[in-house]
């Protein structure tokens, strides 16, 4: 298959496998989504979902979060890893949201990326999952699978995002990025598939015999 043919097949097959794409991180509004995504850095969504109920019970808005100290936030989110830094970022971004955005999460990439602890991927997740704006957040699963499927050379996460946006229709980005994540977790994980095992890898590259080495994000 040529790259365009692979993209068409992958798009169709993932839609068949995952017609519904529930957002993995539990949240009730754009603010709690932002905090949950920040906490998910180098941590599983499942672990984040175990810790956020206690945090959001105390503070589900920027205003309420500022009533907590960094130490109090740290104590709750510690199991998510990198807790001191994440706790400081959560309190810091909450302060900026109050001072500059009326306590609301802005639906703007530049404004989001200006917040402490919020990089391009986090901003993209919030824009796509929180506001429905077309984006293609690239996590470790997407970066790995895009290389295994030869949709990008994987030289950087930025390059992977750019290549995927060119290959797939804009109106598919938000749903497709979740579908690729779901597939990566279920069938094409880092250890469970080496580029020769899962259905999509075997269908796209039936003659492939050797494992595919991928660059990490």
Cα 205–210–216 angle (5° rounding)? 90
Q: Is the dihedral of CA 149, 155, 160, 162 positive or negative?
A: negative
Q: Which residue has the tokens 């901003």?
A: 123
E-state strands within 14-140: none
Task: Name, in order, each residue with C-beta under 8 angstroms of 186's C-beta and a sequence gap of 6 or more.
Answer: none
Catalytic residue among 139, 150, 165, 175: 139
> 139 an active-site residue?
yes
The count of other CB atoms within 10 Å of the CB of residue 216 is 9
Distance (Å, whole) CA 41 – CA 36 = 9
Calpha distance 88→35 (Å, rounded): 12
Cβ atoms within 10 Å of 16's Cβ, excluding its own: 9
Residue 60 a catalytic site member: no
- How many angstroms from the chain centroid is the CA of residue 50? 18
Annotated catalytic residue: which of 74, 86, 121, 163?
121
Residues with catalytic roles: 121, 139
């Amino acid at each position: 298959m040529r790259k365009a043919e692979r993209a068409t097949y992958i798009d169709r097959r993932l839609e068949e496998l995952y017609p519904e794409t529930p957002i993995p991180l539990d949240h009730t509004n754009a603010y709690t989504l932002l905090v949950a995504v920040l906490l998910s850095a180098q941590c599983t969504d499942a672990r984040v979902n175990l810790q956020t109920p206690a945090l959001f019970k105390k503070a589900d808005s920027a205003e309420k979060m500022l009533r907590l100290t960094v130490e109090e936030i740290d104590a709750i989110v510690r199991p998510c890893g990198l807790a001191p830094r994440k706790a400081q970022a959560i309190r810091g971004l909450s302060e900026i949201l109050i001072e500059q955005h009326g306590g609301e999460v802005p639906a703007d990439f530049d404004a989001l990326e200006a917040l402490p602890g919020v990089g391009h991927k986090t901003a993209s997740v919030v824009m796509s999952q929180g506001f429905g704006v077309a984006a293609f957040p690239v996590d470790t699963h997407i970066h790995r699978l895009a290389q295994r499927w030869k949709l990008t050379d994987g030289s950087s996460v930025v390059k992977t995002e750019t290549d995927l946006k060119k290959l797939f229709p804009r109106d598919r980005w938000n749903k497709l990025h979740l579908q690729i994540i779901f597939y990566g977790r279920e069938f094409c994980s880092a250890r469970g598939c080496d580029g020769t095992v899962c259905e999509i890898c075997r269908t796209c590259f039936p003659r492939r015999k050797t494992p595919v080495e991928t660059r990490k994000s």
